């Protein structure tokens, strides 16, 4: 686990969040369209899958 920058919805009723690396400028909440707040969260690292080029 590592500390990752995220954007979290400011609405206490909404549990939505997104990794900052996947956010767009001026990001609004994808679930309730509310404002987002920058914060940190302990998350596992992302594993990037590589497509094989076998022919």
| Closest C-alpha among 10, 35, 4 to residue 22 | 4
* Whole-number pLDDT of residue 55: 63
* Residues in a beta bridge with 6: 19, 39
Whole-model pTM: value is: 0.76
Q: Which pair of tokens denotes residue 20?
A: 């900052």
Task: Kindly report, residue by residue over 10-49, the tens digit of the pLDDT.
Answer: 999 999 999 999 999 999 999 999 999 999 999 998 888 8
At residue 54, does pLDDT exceed 80?
no
- Could you report how far apart the first and last alpha carbons of the chain are, in Å? 37
Cβ–Cβ under 8 Å, residues 9 and 32: yes
At residue 53, does pLDDT exceed 80?
no
């Amino acid at each position: 686990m590592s500390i990752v920058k995220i954007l979290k919805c400011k609405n206490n009723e909404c549990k939505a969040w997104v990794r900052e690396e996947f956010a767009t400028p001026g990001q609004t909440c994808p679930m309730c369209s509310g404002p987002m707040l920058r914060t940190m969260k302990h998350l596992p690292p992302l594993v990037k899958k590589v497509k094989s080029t076998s022919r």
